[in-house]
Chain A
Amino acid sequence: MSDLASHDPKTATEIASHVEEPSQAELHIHRRNAFSALGWARDNLFSNIPNTILTVLSVTVLVWTVPPLLDWLLLKATFLGADPQACRDAGGACWSFIEVKHRFILFGLYPYDEHWRPLLAMGLFIAALAASCDPRLWNVKILYVWGLVLPVCGVLMWGGWLGLTFVPNDKWGGLPLTLILATLGIVLAFPLAVLLALGRRSDMPAIRAICIGYIETVRGVPLVSVLFMASIMFPLFLPEGLTIDKLLRAQLGIMLFTAAYLAEAVRGGLQALPKGQYEAADALGLGYWQKTRLIILPQALRLVIPPIVNQFISCFKDTSLVIIIGLYDLLTTAKTALADPLWRPFYIESYVFAAFIYFLFCYFMSRYSQYLERRLNAGTRR
């Protein structure tokens, strides 16, 4: 600024005129907007006859659905402190159902007085997840963060230490359980997925056959059947006397299932690498594992981060299937909350509440995956 002033004596008036100008331009834009609102409507809503018909149809649908929906959601709805009878009399949404049941829906059978523990664990966990989403933090530090957060979460959830009462994991439920199943499902599946993807592209026929067999078999069957296998067959696989609990079995099932899908995403990245990278690594005389660890995987995995995030979204949604083997995840608790005869009619509120939570997580992740795609492509775009 001072530089400018020293060079030019007329800066003050210049600046004044510069200050003046935008406000005039703004006025102009405002004036144009008044016309362009109509112009915009003509361009985007009524450009020709079919378009006009479509607009009229859409508006009809909106008029037909939105007012009753708003009426139900807000105007006729009952909020805090209403009892079931008041809800029924009002005829709208019964949000006091959520007020009464939200702790059960969010935390399941976890002891009521200890709910702050899963809440705190979840908060830490989500904060760590959010931090991991920032590409600037993709280095060793983020591993330290997780190395600290995970044990703390474990202590908070299980307890039995530092004066916290012990809560066995068959009492866990609700959103923390959904988050645990989805995150561990992806994280544990990841190393297996990388090995399967490398195996599928290996020159060794026996190894390739085993990997293809595993991937195609798991991808060909529904997750429900994998969960059945985990809940009914795993106990038969183990030697007499050794049992694993239900949660761990479901987690293993989800992990084995996710690994097959994740392996295909990783394979996509391996195939997308230019052949020259493999050849250059060979020319340097690197061995297979050196080549893979230092040259191939770092580049291939970078390419497939968006599909991995997408896989995380499906894994997050798919954990809801554990309702079928009787685990108390978010969907199960939302459904179980309806078993209370007093509040039985308010199924829509319960499902909308659960759906909203799932939606928030999935929508954020899908936006994040789109952002990553743009960011990772920034270097290669022409």
Chain B
Amino acid sequence: MSQDAPKTPWWNDRAIRAILYQILVVGAVVLAAWYLISNTLDNLAARNIATGFGFLTRESGFAIGESPIPFDPADSYAKAILVGLLNTVIVAVLGVILSTMIGTVIGVARLSGNWLVARLASFYVETLRNIPVLLQLLFWYALITEGLPGPNQALNPLPDVYLSNRGLKFPTPDWGGVEWLVLAALFLGMAGTFLLVRWAKRRQALTGKIFPTIRAGIGLILGLPLLAWIALGAPTQMNAPELQGFNFEGGHSVSPEFVALLTGLTLYTASFIAEIVRSGILAVAPGQTEAALALGLKRGQVLRLVVMPQALRVIIPPLTSQYLNLTKNSSLAVAIGYPDLVSVSNTTINQTGQAIEGVALLMAVYLAVSLAISAFMSWYDKKTALVGR
């Protein structure tokens, strides 16, 4: 009505207020950071600790119990940390695979029409997920190192496989160098299957013809190495572990720490994955199964083509968090002495006093690993997501 509406005073303008608030918050954060950093620098100067990552190239001087790559105390701290990272990755990858398998079985079992099976699966889930994983790790570790006999009376569940308080010993093929060719054939089979699946999908989209990819894939993956093995003269020579003095010689050995860590992490995570799988399957409307059956699809096809693709959409996001949790929980290795990233970093920090660099490095590596896993899973998630309007 009036020509000049009452002008909002500048301190009540939303945009200006927003900028003000942000300047205040950022200022407070910067101030706090500056205060902490200046304190830290003073403290470091007072304790004569040099800053920076120069220590990484120095000789580490400690031995690492198990390492996928050769490592000795004369190697640098950087290489020690790399060994720790590799050990973490090995446990995480195996743990993810095993816990997915066990978790899926338990999750499906909880939905089983068989009362006994469903009860056993519920018991598994309720017990294992309500006990701290660290307690479980310590339990498995104690069970292996205290409960199993020494190498002299090692348990011998399979020929040439020994279980003792020094860990698990098993034979490895010793075919005079040709085992690599068999392994190469296996990879060739996997690559061939991958290409075959792509070709079969394209052909089905174009012509509607279905190619028996599963049978052909299994044939390729198992058949190629078998053919290679026969072609190389079917060698059967094994490098078997043998008791010599107080310990085993030969074969391959897995340490008690590794067995305890992998067992604990796998069984604990599987109890969470089971619940995720169960809720995913329950989330698919029963009408979907009925409709698919009415179309004349077989039971297996219904599961593979109708139920699983829909269940996966519900399953994958929480499954990603479980994979991340498993990877992060592998840091508990420090409590039982498996030389993972945390354990090696901890030793490094204790020896060099470079606490800040050590912890920062540790956090940065875990962040990178977490981001890599989430990125991969969200790519996969997008691939399987519902294509809506």
**Residues on A facing B (Cβ under 8 Å):** 44-45, 47, 51, 54-55, 58-59, 61-62, 203-207, 210, 217, 219-225, 228-229, 232-233, 235-240, 313, 317-318, 320-321, 323-324, 331, 334-335, 338, 345, 347-348, 351, 354-355, 358-359, 362-363, 366
Contacts and interface: CB of A to CB of B under 8 A. Distances in A.
B183 to A, nearest CB: 34
B174 interface: no
B371 A220 contact: yes
A127 B142 CA distance: 35
Interface stretch (B2-10, B108-116, B209-217): B108-116
A204 B18 contact: yes
B191 interface: no
B115 A225 contact: no
B120 A58 contact: yes
B115 A44 contact: yes
A355 B328 contact: no
Contacts of B40: 233, 236-237
Contact of B132 (A205, A228, A320): A320
B160 interface: no
A323 B25 contact: no
A229 B355 CA distance: 8
Contacts of A235: 43
29 contacts: A44-B113, A54-B114, A55-B117, A62-B120, A205-B22, A210-B25, A220-B367, A221-B362, A221-B366, A222-B328, A222-B342, A222-B366, A224-B334, A225-B342, A228-B346, A228-B359, A232-B349, A233-B359, A239-B39, A240-B42, A240-B46, A317-B131, A321-B332, A324-B334, A331-B138, A347-B139, A355-B135, A358-B131, A363-B130
Interface string B118-155: 00100000110111111110110011001100000000
A200 to B, nearest CB: 13
Residue with the greatest number of chain A CB neighbours at <10 A, chosen from B44, B138, B349, B370: B138
A66 B324 CA distance: 35
A236 B355 CA distance: 9
A206 B22 contact: yes
A358 to B, nearest CB: 5
Nearest to B18: A204
Contact of B135 (A54, A207, A354): A354
Task: Enumerate the 7 nearest inter-chain pairs by beta-carbon distance, A residue then B residue, closest first.
Answer: A362-B130, A222-B328, A44-B115, A222-B331, A220-B370, A206-B22, A317-B132
A233 B355 contact: yes
Interface in B340-378: 342, 346, 349, 355-356, 359, 362-363, 366-367, 370-371
Nearest to B115: A44
Interface string B298-336: 000000000000000000000000001000110110110
Contacts of A203: 18
A222 B44 CA distance: 26
A225 B366 contact: yes
Nearest to B26: A206
A270 B75 CA distance: 52
Given A210-B25, A351-B138, A229 B116 contact: no
B36 interface: yes
Interface string B158-170: 0000000000000
A105 to B, nearest CB: 12
Given A217-B367, A236-B43, A236-B356, A331 B134 contact: yes
A359 B366 contact: no
Residue with the greatest number of chain A CB neighbours at <10 A, chosen from B36, B132, B362: B132
Contacts of A351: 135, 138-139, 142
B291 to A, nearest CB: 23
Contacts of A320: 132, 134-135
Contacts of A210: 25-26, 29
A367 to B, nearest CB: 10
Nearest to B22: A206
A324 B346 CA distance: 11
Nearest to B142: A347
A317 B134 CA distance: 9
Contacts of B356: 233, 236
Contact of A366 (B21, B130, B324): B130
Given A210-B29, A225-B342, A232-B359, A54 B132 contact: no
B146 A347 contact: yes
A244 to B, nearest CB: 13
A58 B117 contact: yes
Contact of A237 (B39, B147, B367): B39
A240 B40 CA distance: 9
Interface in B27-43: 29, 36, 39-40, 42-43
Contacts of B328: 221-223
Contacts of B142: 338, 347-348, 351
Contacts of A334: 135
Contacts of B44: 236
B337 to A, nearest CB: 12
Contact of B116 (A55, A220, A237, A359): A55
